[in-house]
Amino acid sequence: ILKTLNSWFWWENIWMPINCTWAHFVDRDDLVFPKPQQLYATIPYAFVLLIIRFSSERYLAIPLAKALGIKNVRRVKPQPNPVLESYFQECSKHPSQSEIQGLAKKCNCTVHLVEKWFRRRRNLEIPTVLQKFQEAFWRFSFYLASSIAGLIFLHDKPWFYDIWQTWVGYPFQTLLPSQYWYYMMEISFYWSLLFTLGIDIKRKDFKAHVVHHFAAIGLMSFSWCGNYVRLGTLVIFVHDTADFWLEAAKMFNYAHWEKTCNALFIIFSIAFFITRIILFPFWILRATVYLPTYYSTTPVIAYFLSNGLLLTLQGLHLYWGYLIFKILKRFIFLK
């Protein structure tokens, strides 16, 4: 079964233009191609990033938070109580008055003590400001580093200025070392975010983030296997250039630097709408949906799959754009 599925997945009609086979994608003196098995390296790289993350959060984020006046609030833990803990985990974190009375009788204590226990236990579930700051610091550091690396890798490439160049010579486009490391770094980062979903702070758009991480990994892996690397690097760069402004705004928000936070959020909003609402659909999607028709009259299956993932990302952009617009509306009109 696995051999059959593998042969179907790597069927050349899915990935290749007409008259191309996998035999054409053997490295030669002047051409180096991305290889699917290279993606396995992103898993160990993800664990390296996790080591870097936890080290930077401990040795850089905490001292910076203290310098900005953020204190580590220590919450009082409730007394160990197996009965109440079991009810908290399995039944309800907010028991009704009648349920509290029943638990008080079961534990042979007063209603007041049960209420107090649940209140303290719920407080332990709420992330502290320092935890939020540490998480924002890591994301800010990565997105900033990725944006700088992307600019260095792309500024002298012709397809950075002329989107037509992404298809010139396709599929026989050589893989550059900078493209390899750019891809490995990005895919590993999103793997690391998936690995820490259980311990990261759950926000209101948690489900959207999960969809985004899977779509990002799927899209980058798919573009790697199909040698859509030129377009892939542009997609990565467009996404990362707005995100570090948001994480910087969060950090100053946690430190109660309101004016700085507001200024950074406005910059982020402008960058988001330019990159995600204008450049991505009218520049990237135009290059993936419209321009390939000039090079082939019979699009392969990969054309539809990759564009489906890109359109999923655009749907998330519109959802987040709506949330950002609501915040800006409150900020401008309600002060």
Q: What is the pLDDT along the chain (335 residues), one digit of tens a residue?
A: 777 877 777 776 677 776 777 777 788 878 888 988 899 999 999 999 999 999 999 999 999 999 988 887 777 777 787 888 888 777 778 888 888 888 888 888 888 888 888 888 887 777 788 889 999 999 999 999 999 999 999 999 999 999 999 888 888 889 999 999 999 999 999 999 989 887 787 777 778 778 888 888 988 998 898 888 999 999 999 989 999 999 999 999 999 999 999 999 999 999 999 999 999 999 999 988 888 877 765 667 778 888 888 888 899 899 989 999 998 888 878 76
CATH architecture of the domain with range 82-125: Orthogonal Bundle (1.10)
Among 238, 52, 266, CA closest to 142: 52
Note the pLDDT of residue 296: 63
Q: Phi-psi category of 108—alpha, beta or left, where left has phi over 0 and alpha has psi -120 to 50? A: left
Q: Is the pTM of this model over 0.75?
A: yes
Please say whether the beta carbons of 314 and 258 come within 8 A: no
* Surface-to-core class of residue 257, CB atoms within 10 Å of its CB (0-12 exposed, 13-18 middle, 19+ buried): middle
**CA angle (130 as vertex; 189, 316 as ends), nearest 5:** 40
Residue 155 CB: number of other CB atoms within 10 A? 9
Among 141, 152, 210, 222, CA closest to 182: 152
- The gap between the terminal CA atoms of the chain, to the nearest Å, is 61
- Cα–Cα distance, 158 to 302 (Å, whole number): 24
Q: How far are the Cα atoms of 30, 227, 298 from residue 105, in angstroms, in the given order?
A: 80, 67, 74
DSSP secondary structure string, 72-124?
-PPPPPPPP-HHHHHHHHHT-SS--HHHHHHHHHHHTS-HHHHHHHHHHHHHH
Among 154, 171, 175, CA closest to 236: 154
* SS3 call for 33: coil
Buried residues in 1-14 as b, exposed as e (16+ CB within 10 A): eeeeeeeeeeeeeb
Please say whether the beta carbons of 217 and 185 come within 8 A: no
- Cα–Cα distance, 335 to 328 (Å, whole number): 10
Please say whether the beta carbons of 138 and 218 come within 8 A: no
- Cα–Cα distance, 302 to 256 (Å, whole number): 48
- Cα–Cα distance, 65 to 130 (Å, whole number): 7
> Tokens 């990935």 sit at which residue?
15
- Cα–Cα distance, 241 to 155 (Å, whole number): 14
For residue 182, give both structure tokens. Answer: 């750019």
Note the pLDDT of residue 121: 81
Among 93, 63, 65, CA closest to 78: 93
Residue 203 contacts by C-beta under 8 Å, 6 or more apart in sequence?
209
Note the pLDDT of residue 51: 96
Domain parsing of the chain, residue ranges: 29-68+128-334, 82-125
> Tokens 């690097």 sit at which residue?
233
**Which amino acid type is present at position 23?**
A
* SS3 call for 27: coil
- Cα–Cα distance, 250 to 141 (Å, whole number): 13
